[in-house]
Structure 1
Amino acid sequence: MKRIALFPGSFDPFTKGHEDIVLRGLRLFDEVIIGIGRNPRKERYFPLEQMIHLIEEAFRDYPAVRVISYDDLTASVAREAGARFLLRGLRNTTDFEYENGISQVNRYIYDEVETVFLITSPHLAPISSSIIRELHRYGQQVDEFLPYKLEAHPLGH
């Protein structure tokens, strides 16, 4: 049976830290699906379609990686996609506390799913999507944190 993992997140934006988790996940799984969840309580900074395109381009040489977007419970999406694993990255203990609760709920919804946590590579641990959004919003160069190039923010200083 094919070992498929769903790597869920808002990916606003998708960072080199996220890329690292996907590439390391490919050593464990036959396929990694990057699932961009839509959160109705959060307005995206980077448009969803733009992020899908940028992530697909970043992984164009990896046929075992695909990108989807969804507006449903992550566990339900995993079941529908045939993914028996949820792939998550942990930067610190705060991430673990947050992710642990989510993994329990996902297992309740879809009892055949296992959450696999990978510890973020040390040199990438300080990177977060929220920091990158803030830097970009104020016109700072962020390409070194991303596996693709971004246009400068039009409101940058």
Structure 2
Amino acid sequence: MKIALFPGSFDPVTKAHVDIVKRAVNLFDKLYIGIGVNSSKQGFLSIAQREQMLRAVFEMEPRIHIIAYEGLTVDFCKSIDANYMVRGIRTVSDFEYEKAIAQMNHVMAPDIESIFIVSKPGYSSISSTIVREVLKHGGDVSQFIPKEALAYL
């Protein structure tokens, strides 16, 4: 069985995330969306809100499982028997950052492959950070967020 993890903060989930998930899910038998918990960071949304939001967005896809985790992502992959890690790439700087992480992960867990999916051009400027800034200043984020997620903001 081919199992993959798509890790991230998803704070909040964006249409760019959804695009990566929809393109990745058909490559695997099971795709976990892992919400990484960083205890040193205060999130915009709670972990529980992010889980609920992601479940609402992907409720119609039985191969997608939503779960929060702490610690090293490669250790979490091992705990769920995932041999693949999916990462979205929007820009050249994303690639350089993700490449460095993938290489470190490969040293720690050579049996876990990193799979990079390049974002569609229309989504390359969308990030959770930018969405949070727009929200902070009272802007309309409906064009950047899946409609199922709007209720959680």
Map of 2:63 onto structure 1: 64
Map of 1:8 onto structure 2: 7
Stretches of structure 2 that go unaligned for 5 or more consecutive residues are none
Map of 2:150 onto structure 1: 150
Task: Give the 3-state SS of the residue equivalent to 2:85 in structure 1.
Answer: strand
How far apart in 1 are the matches of 2:152 and 2:14?
16
Map of 1:91 onto structure 2: 90
Map of 1:127 onto structure 2: 126
Q: Is the 8 A contact 1:76 1:109 kept in 2?
A: no
For 1:36-75, what aligned pairs fall within 5 Å after superposition?
A: 36-75=35-74
Q: Is the 8 A contact 2:13 2:149 kept in 1?
A: no
How far apart in 2 are the matches of 1:40 and 1:102?
20
Structure 1 window deviating more from structure 2 (3-12 vs 35-44): it is 35-44
Report how far residue 15 of structure 1 moved: 0.7
Map of 1:80 onto structure 2: 79
**C-alpha deviations, 1:57-80, integer Å up to 9, x for none?**
111100000111011100000011
How far apart in 2 are the matches of 1:69 and 1:152?
17
How far apart in 1 are the matches of 2:10 and 2:62?
20
Pairwise CA RMSD of aligned residues? Answer: 1.3
Q: Give the AA of the match of 2:24.
A: G
How far apart in 2 are the matches of 1:68 and 1:28?
19
Task: Give the 3-state SS of the residue equivalent to 1:35 in structure 2.
Answer: strand
Q: Give the AA of the match of 2:69.
A: Y
How far apart in 2 are the matches of 1:112 and 1:29?
16
How far apart in 1 are the matches of 2:56 and 2:111?
32
Q: Give the AA of the match of 1:6.
A: L
Report how far residue 149 of structure 1 moved: 3.8
Identity %: 39
Stretches of structure 1 that go unaligned for 5 or more consecutive residues are none
